[in-house]
Structure 1
């Protein structure tokens, strides 16, 4: 069975509703309003998102990580819902520091099953996820007082230097691409110094790859990488498709359901990247 057809069967069989609606929108011209409808089930009365929208913690409480996941889904679907996003921004403002920074999660996750890596470090406000949230709002063209305050905090934080982790760097680049003159050379020279950056397509370990930084050929940060680097990671992405049609993950979620949910997420993302680069 071909790459796309096998992956489609996996999504239809094993992915959760929100990924099935996203798949239908991206690949089958379905109404993107269905994606928004699916997301509403994850939005809390406080405006934030929870209920394991990002599956590594099963906590119903709102978290910054779940809000970011919601924004990613909206961007992937090419749809915007003013009320849904505004309420999420209001929640971000309510939990931010005085300077506007937010954290990935909170101690509320400790009362529910969670992956081992979802620990105390996720309670600390930082560029991950603040910069990524700001960048996504800028991409969506959403204005909000929290966005402006958080953008100023990000500028101050990055003026002190780049982060040393690839996840935080990825978030920072989401913000930096919307600034007036991002220093592409400085970013390129910093990448090899990052923890969890997987430059070598042959490396089977967990990590952030060039395709995460440049998931489409017209991504702003595509200029960081050579054609050979991108092509090598695209080859690896194709090779990593599993016999059941989906893509595997390289970490341990908190359970079987969460594992399938995350596999649905990365499978749809893999298909979107392969489609964008003309590999389907």
Structure 2
């Protein structure tokens, strides 16, 4: 990535990004105190402990949702910081809405009262590996201990040992779990089958020139030292890095390939995607 491309992306985030992405950028690239990321997240946390208010911008709902908790945990992980009270309250909330086995859904019918993307519908109300495995994996990454995490981890093991998911989003969540769960021997046993299932996944975008929406190898292996980097040939990774560099827009940001519910949501997601692109390209020295 050229200096000009980086500075253009930086200006896009400064100009169009939300406070959270601006503070994450400052933390990741300018040495800012990561406590600023925690401060930015506080505005999204509800009194019940969950996160809401469009932290994940595809649904602009003030009610707490698991997907928004996941976005908060990812921001903390990216910043390399945690806040015990904030995270414990979020886990308490997850426990309050989980099924008896610990699984949670991405969202609930409450989103129907608020602006949302069309694809956020009934399928998001069913508990599953997406997001339960991703939530559990991120909590393990942060070193959290909580009764809900214990129950959810047991459920994830059971679900994954029954068969790896056939959807790329669910597999991406499962890979976060398998990368960070403490039982490494059990995780390695399941990881041995990941490579075989990749070509069968729905919404997996293997070809760098595929213009459609989907999960790419760089979503699954966002850094060269990722546990999953070994699944992909060097030329495939380089092809996706070249595509990522090429996809930067004249305004400095990256575009998205789906339709959010509003222009504000579109800008929010572009800030999220621009920060992700910078993280990936920087990590790969590209």
Q: 1:47–1:87: 8 Å Cα contact kept in structure 2?
A: yes
Using the TM superposition, give the Cα deviation of residue 164 of structure 1 relative to its aligned residue in structure 2, in angstroms: 1.1
Would you say how many aligned residue pairs link Structure 1 and Structure 2? 279
Aligned counterpart, 2:58: 56
Unpaired runs of 5+ residues, structure 1, are none
CA contact (8 A) 1:184 1:224 kept: no
RMSD (CA atoms): 0.9
Q: Is 1:246 the equivalent of 2:250?
A: no
Q: How does 1:46-125 map to 2 (within 5 A)?
A: 46-125=48-127
Alpha-carbon deviation of 1:229?
Answer: 1.1
Structure 2 stretches lacking a partner, 5+ long: none
Please say if 1:168 is aligned against 2:170: yes
Q: CA deviation at 1:79?
A: 1.0
Residue pair 1:253, 1:259 contacting (<8 A) in 2 also:
yes
Instruction: Normalising by structure 1, report the TM-score.
Output: 0.98
Structure 1 distance, partners of 2:256, 2:209, is 16
Measured after TM superposition, the shift of residue 186 of structure 1 is 1.1
1:111-168 per-position Cα deviation (integer Å, ceiling 9, x unaligned):
0000011001101000000000000011111111101100000111111111110000
Q: Could you give the per-residue CA deviations for residues 41-83 of structure 1, whole angstroms, max 9, x where no partner exists?
A: 0000000000000000000100000000000111111111101
The structure 1 segments of at least 4 consecutive aligned residues displaced by more than 2 Å after TM superposition are 177-185
* Counterpart secondary structure, 2:119: coil
Partner of 2:218: 211
Select 2:45's aligned residue among 38, 43, 46: 43
Q: Residue 185 of structure 1: CA displacement?
A: 3.5
Asked whether the 8 Å contact 2:178–2:191 carries over to 1, the reply is no
